[in-house]
Structure 1
């Protein structure tokens, strides 16, 4: 009788262990494959910098919404493309996959990884120096998306900003050609 109970317990433990092993293998496969941009298309990109020197502030967003790529950005630019305040502003302009080809090539070369968890700040500490930089690439839908980032060198930051600036000029020209 005791050997039947021990066999039943062993079988029960095996059945309980199988889902755990499957979940662990799926998680391991997901984390190994998430740096491969060829396996899944990115759905949003955010690049921004806040700085005490306003001329060094910029904000770029590209995201997929309703099966359409949308682009918005704000940065300080030269007089030929900027408004009265020397700001280049653009919101919710559609871009095509062809427009994003140069950006996709750049992203393919980056070693993307999960961002480090944010450290909680003490509630009474104020950050007077507002110099911050963030670069995130999102994958998946809004409900179940995850983000990846890469540590960009100064040259990579400049190259990425130039790519996004060229995209801005193309989209802005398109907006001026097709007023709403």
Structure 2
């Protein structure tokens, strides 16, 4: 497979505890042509003791800032996601943790979007999270002020 020209990406984990939940997302804004960064995650202890939750919404990031993350994506064996297993109606899970990793590739001619994914080893997930944290540190000062 050749180079993937991706237009969006999400690394997401949801659980009942904020300490283990996070959401990192990049998406191409069709009007401006800029990649926008959204994130929500618990601040690492070494970041800043005053910040508990780091959040950004629609902050533009540059291709240069995405270069390392893009290199990681290019090295993954991306493929269309498999069909989910059927849900067992008799099985009840009160605290289900969900994890999602996907990359979007848009076709502007027919306005379709194809989702790709790859199984991530623990060290790959950690490296992606590290790169998203670095992106947060670069982009946080450009975030619009909230009222």
Instruction: Verify same fold: TM over 0.5.
Output: yes
**Shift of residue 121, structure 1, vs aligned partner:** 2.5
1:159 counterpart (118, 127, 140): 127
**Counterpart position of 2:96:** 130
Q: 1:100 to 1:82 in 2, by over 3 A?
A: farther
| Structure with higher RCO (Cα < 8 A, 6+ apart) | 2
**Counterpart position of 2:75:** 109
The CA RMSD measured in Å over matched residues stands at: 2.4
Output aligned runs, 1:1-180, within 5 Å.
36-38=1-3, 40-65=4-29, 66=31, 67-78=33-44, 80-81=47-48, 86-122=52-88, 126-141=92-107, 143-175=111-143
Q: Structure 1: give runs of 5+ residues left out of the alignment.
A: 1-35
Q: Number of residue pairs matched?
A: 141
**Shift of residue 70, structure 1, vs aligned partner:** 0.5
Distance in 1, Cα, partners of 2:54 & 2:92: 30
When you count strand as a share of all residues, which structure comes out higher? 2
Post-superposition Cα deviations, 1:31-88, rounded to whole Å, max 9, x if no partner, equal xxxxx351x410000110012332010001100012111000000004755876x110
Distance in 2, Cα, partners of 1:135 & 1:116: 13
TM-score by length of 1: 0.69
When you count helix as a share of all residues, which structure comes out higher? 1
Q: Secondary structure of 1:173's partner?
A: helix
Q: Secondary structure of 1:128's partner?
A: coil
Larger radius of gyration: 1
Q: Structure 2: give runs of 5+ residues left out of the alignment.
A: none
